[in-house]
Structure 1
Amino acid sequence: MNVELRQVHDSDLPVFYRQMNDPESLRMAAFTPKEPADRDAFDAHWAKIRSSDAVVRTVLADGDVVGNAAVYGVPGEREVTYWVDRAYWGKGIATAALRALVTEVPERPLYARAASDNAGSLRVLEKCGFRTVATASGYANARGAEIEETVLLLEG
């Protein structure tokens, strides 16, 4: 499968919105918007990040929009995030997309966070060179509870 990143197009947003409202994906991601089905909040969020200094990309697999990936935050504390449609989990797409993103954004350090029970996401991050540096707890909207999260770091 050919995985590529490109600039986000307006036509990608309905796909992202649909992906972000898959109940199983939300549960796995855990740290999600409070009301993922609130389309106005979704649109406002995407307008804000697309006009910021974040590096935001659409993930394509064989030409199909399958998710998004981004680097955001203040220098020295920038974080990566990514979302891949559940239909494409386990195919190496998230790993390929994140590798491409961290190659495109050579700035270091980069941080990442994942629910500590999200083994798939933790594997993706580790394959891309991130290492665990801490654990923390935070309120996970998608689970309605405080859960443990793993904090990871990618150094130069």
Structure 2
Amino acid sequence: MDRFVWINLREQIHSVLVLINPLLINNNIELTVDLPEELAVCVQKTPIQQVLSNLLNNSIDALGNVSREKRIWISSDEDEQWIYLKIANNGPKIPDDIQRKLFQPFVTGREHGTGLGLTICKKIMENHKGNMFFRSTDNETVFILGFKKP
């Protein structure tokens, strides 16, 4: 099992984007990363890479049938206790009936999805004493990862 280490979240995002970049190009998706140079969190590196990869791949999938300009943007925010990483896209709204149970196993809005990815991501964040939540409107869906400050 990975040990907890301090990482720069911006660098971690960029390492995941190296793998995902061909999908962004092939799907004509504009990506914006607006993160501070130093954004340190203490995590298990491999599981957090899995969370980031899953959320980015889900964003790409959500934009599949969008006819307008396709966009994903990554940003951060923080307060006294938390660092928040936001991964957003301008895809369609997640249907209300799916929103209510989105983090439950085997719930998916995709034809070929397993419905396990977000369940696993939420569990990984909980194992990091963090949290994960989302907002979905007609114009935007954003997943927010909360990392507890020491």
Which category of TM-score, normalised to the shorter sequence, fits these structures? 0.3 to 0.5
TM-score by length of 2: 0.32
TM-score by length of 1: 0.31
